[in-house]
Amino acid sequence: MDYLRELPDFIQRLLLRGNNSQDMVIGSGLCCYSFKLNNRISQELYEGSLYISSDLRGELIDVVFVKVARREDAIKIFRNTAAANDGVVLKPWRYWFSGEKEFCNLPKDAELRKGIWTLCYDHFEHNLKDWTNLVKGNVGYYDKLKLPIKIGNGCRLKEFWRDSIRKLIKGIGRIHSKGLYHGGLGLESNYVFIDKCLKVINIGGDLYEYEFENGREWQKKADITDLLGMLDNCFESILAGGKRSWLECQHFFDFVNRAKRNKKLE
């Protein structure tokens, strides 16, 4: 989606269909994006809908708007996440600024009235942060696909988590091969559940921001250790079963620690 370019202002004024519409040139065709923010579902997320004029079905797409701090962040994250183009990455539709003038009726949400930058993604079930809080705070909540986290003798992870971690590690390697790194895999809010899969959003960095190869290698390792460390803390907060109490994580960190020691000996 990096090749999309906004039309000149005077053309947008002629073709604008509403305060929340944006017209884009895609190849030689014209496409109108229209979005609507509805409910705030967490501190960082809003539900909403997206209309694309090039969709012949004319259907609204259910989406989630993920809040980011600044315009610069929105542009950078959008470009990197779209460029990753991998099965473990949820690809964004667009980035948008939404403020008071974007609404026909003044929104109740004070932050929306002030204006926020967001990235628009396909609607997902939960991010990992909100799911973890749901599991911890709701005794009656049960997710058969993901719970219990550990099975058997209490050391092995449930199949969903084993498969997800395996796919994420391989996917992150593919992201690195494209010259990108995530930079935020230590945050639960950067993982989302969609279509019975765990995916990442908001890819933040270009490896070639680092002048030297050792800096790039450090950042790639940091992505993987952030992933495993985040899951370790997440599972610990749910299970209260002791750090690295799941076998796969212990084996991984043993491997990383041995590699670090060997490198120092060299």
In the chain the domains, ranked by start, together with CATH numbers, are: 5-122 (3.30.200), 126-261 (1.10.510.10)
| For residues 193-221, average pLDDT | 95
Of 156 and 72, more confident: 72
**Of the given ranges (41-45, 86-90, 139-143), which has the lowest mean pLDDT?**
139-143
The mean pLDDT value for 123-151 works out to: 89
Check pLDDT > 60 for residue 56: no
Q: What is the mean pLDDT of residues 49-67?
A: 79
Say yes or no to pLDDT of 20 above 60.
no
pLDDT, average across residues 23-35:
55
What's the confidence (pLDDT) of residue 208? 93
Q: Does the pLDDT value for residue 119 go beyond 50?
A: yes
Does residue 263 surpass a pLDDT of 80? Answer: no
| Average pLDDT of the chain to the nearest whole number | 79
What's the pLDDT band for 154 if we cut at 50, 70, 90?
low
Please compute the mean of the pLDDT values over residues 52-76 and round it to a whole number: 84
Name the range with the highest mean pLDDT among 35-44, 53-62, 135-144, 182-191. Answer: 182-191
List C-alpha distances in Å: 71 to 45, 67, 116, 240, 265: 17, 11, 9, 39, 45
For 171, residues 6+ apart whose C-beta sits below 8 A from its C-beta are 86, 87, 88, 89, 200
**224 vs 250, more confident:** 224
pLDDT band at 40 (very low <50, low <70, confident <90, very high): confident
Distance separating alpha carbons of residues 38 and 109, to the nearest angstrom: 10
- pLDDT bin (cut points 50, 70, 90) of residue 109 is confident
Give the residue with greater pLDDT, 18 vs 193. Answer: 193
Above 60 in pLDDT, residue 99?
Answer: yes
Q: What is the pLDDT of residue 121?
A: 95
Distance, CA of 87 to CA of 89 (rounded, Å): 5
CA distances in angstroms from 69 to 113, 200, 262, listed in the order given: 15, 18, 40
Percent pLDDT > 90 in the chain is 45
User: What does the pLDDT look like over 3-12, one tens digit per residue?
Assistant: 333 433 433 4
Tell me which of 230 and 250 has the higher pLDDT.
230
The pLDDT value given to residue 15: 38
Highest mean pLDDT among 48-62, 144-158, 218-232: 218-232
- The model carries a pTM of 0.80
Torsion of Cα atoms, 93 then 6 then 23 then 9, to 10°:
150
